[in-house]
Structure 1
Amino acid sequence: MRSTFVLAVSLTALLWSGEATGQDHHTNIQHSTEASADTVKVTTVKELFTKGEVEGHVRNYFMATWNHRSLSDNYANAIGAEIAYKTATFHGFRMGFAGLFTYNLFSSNINERDPISEKHPKLELELFDIEDPENKADLDRLDELYLEYSSDWLKAKAGRFSFTSPLMNPQDTRMKPYSFQGIQVQVPLQQKGILTLAWFDHFSPRSTVEWFKAGEAIGIFSLGIDANGDPSGYPHHTQTRGVAVAGLQFKQSTRLSTDFWNYWIENVSNNSYGHAVLEVAPRVKVGVEGLYQFRVGNGGNPETKLAYFPDQQQWLAGGMLAYEPVNWHLSLNYLHTAGEGRFLFPREWGREQFFATLSRGRMEGTGKSDMVVAKVRKQWSGRFSSEAAVAKAWLPGAQDYRYNKYGATSYLGWVADLNYKPANPVLNGLSFRLLYIGRVSPGSDMPLKDMYYNTNFHNINFVTQLTF
C-alpha cells in the first residue's frame, strides 16, 4: 500500500509540474518541436497513455560465497521484477516511471553476524536491504519518475531516472540499481560528440529501498576508518546540497575517442576525470586515463573528524593496451593511485569504471597502490559471450590508515563471466549469466576476522532473467 500511495501521489505531482514545464520549453524551442514530428500521433490525453510503451524484466539471482577456513559461508536466492512505462511522445515531451520489487526466496542466516568477524554477509545482503538485514519482503522501490523532452538538438530529463558516467552509474547487476533524482541536459555536438550537464540532490543507492538527500546518502555503505585509524565520523554529518556533473564525449574520428567528466560535490570535493582511446594500428588500441580531485569548502563538515573529504589533493592514472581481432578483445590494463592521500568518491552513487575495473573490485578508498589486469573477451555468437580476467593488486598495509580506508590487502584475483541467450524463438527474452569471482592473498599476515569478504574467498552468481 505504501508504494502504491507514493506512486499515485508522485505521478499526480509530475503531471501538474509537467504541464507547467511543458509550456516553458515549448516557448523556448518551439521551432524545433514543430520541425520534428512525433513518432506516434497523439490526439487525446487517453492516447497519450494507451499508445505508450511498457518494458521491464523478471530476475532470479542465486549467489553463494565460500570464505576462508572457519569464517561462515553464505548463500541467498533473490527473485524480483521491474516494470517500466513511458507515455507516447507529444511535441517532444513524454513521461515515464518504473517500480521494482524483490523477495528473499531462500537464504542462509544473512541477518546474523559472522561470529569471528562480527560482520554481516556483505555480498549476499547486497541483494536485499543493507540497512535492514531482517527485511526479506518489503523490498519495493519507486525507481524512476520523470518528464523528458527530446529534439534533434536537445535532450532534457527531470525527476528520478538512471544516469550513466564513469563515476556515477546505475550498475544494474544486482536486484536494484543506483538511481538518481535531479535534472539532466544533453546537447549533441555536430554528430561528433555530446555535452552532458546534470544536477543531482537525492539518491537511492543499490541494495537499499529508500531515497536520501545527497548528504544523507554518503555513508550508507562501508564506513571504513579515517587517516588516524579511528572509525569514520562523516555518516549522517556530511553537509552538501548535491553534485553538479559536466561531461564532454567526443569521437573525433574512427580511430580516436575521448571523454572528459567533472563532478563538483558542493562543499565536499571536485573530481575531474578524462580518458582517450586511440587505434594506433589495425585492431590495436591504446588508452590513457587520469583523475584529479581536491577538497571543496570544508569537505562536508567544519569539524575535521566529521568531514568526508580531508584537506588533500589526490590523483590517479591508468592505461590500456588492447588487441581486438574479429569478435575478440584482449587487453592489459593498469591503474595507479598516487601517494597524496586516498582516492575518495561516494560508493553510494555508483562504481568507478576504469580500464582495470573488475566485478567485486574497487580501488576507491586507497592511495599509493597499483593494479594490473589482463582481460580476454570473446563474442562466440550473437547469443553467447565469455570473459575472463586475472588481476594483481598491490595495496598499502591494512594498518597504513592514511592510504587504506577499508583495511584491504594486496591480492591476486580472477573473474569468469558467461552470458547466454537461448536460440529457441519460444524462449525469446530469456538470458542466463554465470559469474565467478575468486581472490587470494598468499602470505598475508591479515587476521582471520579481517579476511571476511575481503580476501581468500570464492563467490559464484547465477542470474536468470526474462526481459520484455
Structure 2
Amino acid sequence: MRLLYLFIICLPIFSMAQDTVVVKKKGTLSGQWRTYYMMTSNKEALKDFNALATGGKLKYQYQLLENLEIGAALYNATNLGLQDLTIPDATTGRISRYEEGLFDRIDLENDAIFLLGEFYAKYNLKRHSFTLGRMKINTPLINPEDGRMIPTLVQGFWYQFNAEEAKFQLGVLNEIAPRSTGEFYGIGESIGTYPVGKNKNGDASQYTNSTSSDYVIMANANLEITEDLKLNIWNQFVDNIYNSFYIKPSYKLSESVQIEGEWLHQNKVGNGGNSIDSLRYFNQNTADVLGLKIAYKNKAGAVSLAYNGILPNGQFLSPREWGREDLFSFQKRERSEGSADNHALVLNYKTDFSAAKDLNLTSILSIGKHWKPDVTNAILNKYAMPDYTHVNLDIFFNIKKLKHLKPELLLTSKIGNGDIPDNPNLYFNKVDMFHLDLIFNYNF
C-alpha cells in the first residue's frame, strides 16, 4: 500500500518538466513533492528516533472570471515505516517530539494522510483581494511553519489591501487544520492537539477538548511612515480566550544597518476558554513580550543580534498547533511559548556562497542563549524547559542543473545549562540532544 501512495505522489514529477503546467487556457496545475528524513539523538540511554516521510501537494487554480479565481490543493504525508513511533522511551514512557509531527499526531498508526487543505474562491481588484474558503496565511502567530510535511492551514475569510506605502489585512477564521494532523478543527477544538504542559498547580493541563472558542479575528496594518521608518501592527482576537496586540517598528540607520523593536501584549477574553479553572487554556490576566534586534548587511552576508524578554506578569501563550511564534529570538526546533520571566539572546549569520560550479548554498547559523524560569515553577514555566544553549545550522542547496530540486539540511544541538534536576523528563527531547532534518523539495 505504501508503494501505491508513493506512486501517486511521484506521478506528477515524472510527467511535468516546467514550473507550472497549463492544463486549460485559464487553469494551472502546480505542486511540490517532498521527501523528509528526521532524526533525534537523545541523552545517553534515552531513546533515539528516526522517521522518513514522502508526500507533498497538488494544487489547481482556475480563472473562472476576469477577476475571480478558484483553487484547491490536496496535501499528503506518507510514513515509509523507518521506525515504529508508537513505541515509547522505556525510561520516560514518552514518544518522539519531532518525528511524530511528520505524520498524523492524533493517530500515529495512520500511515497516510490526505487533506484537502486549500479550497477557495478569490476575487481580485487592482488593490483589493477577497478570499473565502480554505487557505494558507502567514501572520506572526498563525502561520504555515513549513517544518513538517503538511503546513498549518485555515478556513474562513481574508481581505487584503495593497498600496505603495501601506498594506492592510483583515481575516475571520472559523476552523484551523494544525500541521501534523489530518483534518480541520473548530477553533477551540484545535487547541490541545499538541502537548499541553502543566497548569499553574503543576498538574497536567486539561484544556484538550475543553476549550470553547468559535472564531479568530485578525487585523493588520503595515505602514511606511518614512522611507526609513516602517511600522507593522497586528491584532489577534481569539473568541472567549485572549487578545494579542503586536507592534513592530523598524528603522534603517544606514544602507547596511537596521534596528527593530517589538512588543506583544496579551489579555484574557471571556473566561479564557472554560469557566472551570482546571480546564482553562488562558489562565491569567495579561502577558507581555518585549524585543530588540539590530541587523547589519553587506555583500558578504547578513548578521543580526536579537533579544526577547517575557515579563513575569504572565506566560506568553499561543497555541503551538497554529504555527511558530514569529519573534526575534525564535530558533527552529524550540520556542519560548509557555514561559514568563524568560530571556533569550540570539545571534544569526546568513551568507550565500558557491560550493561548486553548479552548486550554490545559503547557510544560516543561529546561536542562542535562553534563560528559563525554574523547571519546578509551573506558573512561569509551563513545559518545564531548562536553561539551554541552542545552535542551528540551516543549509539550503541551489543546484543549477536541477532548478526544481531544493534540498535543505538542518542541524540542531540544544545543550542544557546550569543545575538541572536529575530527572530524565527534563532532558528527553528537550536538551543535551542532537537533531537532524534532511529535506528534498521538488517544486513544479
User: Given the two structures, how large is their TM-score scaled by the length of structure 2?
Assistant: 0.91
Change (3 A) 1:149 1:327: farther
Is 1:193 aligned with 2:166? yes
User: Residue type of the partner of 2:139?
Assistant: S
In the alignment, is residue 384 of structure 1 matched against residue 357 of structure 2? no
Superposed displacement of residue 279, structure 1 = 1.0
1:151 pairs with one of 109, 121, 125: 125
Paired position in structure 1 for 2:102: 127
How far residue 227 of structure 1 moved from its aligned partner, in angstroms, is 0.8
Is residue 2:75 matched to residue 1:100?
yes
1:233 equivalent in alignment to 2:206: yes
**The 10-residue stretch of structure 1 (378-387 or 449-458) with the greater mean CA deviation from structure 2:** 378-387
Conservation of the 8 A alpha-carbon contact between 2:284 and 2:314: no
d(CA) in 1 for partners of 2:272 and 2:433? Answer: 35
The one-letter code matched in structure 1 to 2:30 is E
Any residues of structure 2 matched to 1:4-403 within 5 Å, and which?
50-137=25-112, 139-188=113-162, 190-326=163-299, 328-380=301-353, 383-403=360-380
Q: Is the 8 A contact 2:38 2:437 kept in 1?
A: yes
Counterpart amino acid of residue 151 in structure 1: L
Deviation at 1:48, TM superposition (A): 10
1:456 aligns to 2:432 (yes or no): yes
Give the partner amino acid of 1:265: V
Aligned: 1:404 with 2:381? yes
Task: Report SS of the residue matched to 1:421.
Answer: strand
Higher helix share: 1
1:379 counterpart letter in structure 2? D
SS of structure 2 residue aligned to 1:324: strand
The equivalent of 2:8 in structure 1 is: none
Aligned partner of residue 106 in structure 1, secondary structure: coil
The higher radius of gyration belongs to 1
**Secondary structure in 2 aligned to 1:348?**
helix
Letter in 1 for 2:150: K
Q: How many residues align?
A: 418
Counterparts of 2:135 and 2:413 in 1: how far apart (Å)? 33
Report deviation, 1:383.
4.1
Corresponding residue SS for 2:139: coil
User: What is the alpha-carbon distance in structure 2 between the residues aligned to residue 309 and residue 127 of structure 1?
Assistant: 28
Take 1:410 and 1:93, find their aligned partners in 2: how far apart are those partners?
A: 51
Specify which of 373, 389, 393 is matched with residue 416 of structure 1. 393
| Rounded Cα–Cα distance in structure 2 between residues aligned with 1:410 and 1:89 | 54
Q: Which residue in the other structure is 1:437 paired with?
A: 412
- Higher mean alpha-carbon deviation, 208-217 vs 322-331, is at 322-331
Counterpart secondary structure, 1:401:
coil
Separation of aligned partners in 2, 1:228 and 1:66 = 32
**Residue-by-residue CA offset, 1:264-320 (whole Å, 9 max, x unaligned):** 011111100011111112301111001001011111111111111113211010010
Q: Any gaps of 5 or more consecutive residues in structure 1?
A: 1-46
Q: Which amino acid aligns with 2:34?
A: R
Structure 2 distance, partners of 1:371, 1:267, is 30
Distance in 1 (CA, whole Å) between partners of 2:379 and 2:261 is 27
- Deviation, structure 1 residue 210: 1.2
Whichever residue aligns with residue 169 of structure 1, its letter is N
- The 1:368–1:134 alpha-carbon spacing in structure 2 relative to 1, beyond 3 Å, is same
Confirm or deny: 8 A CA contact 1:71 1:449 kept in the other structure: no
For residues 450 and 408 of structure 1, what CA distance do their matches in structure 2 show?
Answer: 7
Describe the superposition over 1:86-122 as per-residue Cα deviations: whole angstroms up to 9, x where unpaired. 0025131110000011111132221111111111111
Contact 1:117 1:450 (8 Å CA) reproduced: no
> Deviation at 1:327?
5.0
Q: 1:316, 1:152 → 2: CA distance? A: 37
Amino acid at match of 1:402: I
Q: Against the structure 1 CA distance between its residues 276 and 89, is the aligned structure 2 distance closer, same or farther, given a 3 Å change threshold?
A: farther
Partners of 2:360 and 2:147 in 1: CA distance: 19
Contact 2:387 2:418 in 1 (8 A): no
Moved more, 254-263 or 284-293: 254-263
Shift of 1:49: 5.4
Q: Residue 337 of structure 1 contacts residue 366 of structure 1 at CA under 8 Å; is this kept in 2?
A: yes
Aligned CA RMSD, in angstroms, stands at: 1.5
Q: Which moved more, 1:289-298 or 1:344-353?
A: 344-353
Q: Which amino acid aligns with 2:274?
A: N
Counterpart CA distance in 2 for 1:292 and 1:102 is 36
- Change over 3 Å in CA distance of 1:48–1:83 after alignment to 2: closer
Q: State how far apart, in whole Å, the 2-side matches of 1:206 and 1:181 are.
A: 14
Q: Identical aligned pairs, as a percentage?
A: 29
SS of residue paired to 2:98: helix
Amino acid at match of 1:271: S
Normalized against structure 1, the TM-score is what?
A: 0.87
8 Å Cα contact 2:56-2:150 kept in structure 1: no
- Name which of structure 1's ranges 344-353 and 198-207 shifts more when overlaid on structure 2: 344-353
Task: Tell me how far apart the structure 1 counterparts of residues 419 and 97 of structure 2 sit (CA, whole Å).
Answer: 21
Residues 61 and 70 in structure 2, CA contact (< 8 A), matched pair in contact too: yes
Residue 464 of structure 1 aligns to which amino acid in structure 2? Answer: F
Counterpart amino acid of residue 194 in structure 1: K
Q: C-alpha distance in 2, partners of 1:266/1:49?
A: 42
- Aligned counterparts of 2:229 and 2:351: Cα–Cα separation in 1: 23
Q: Distance in 2 between matches of 1:268 and 1:49?
A: 46
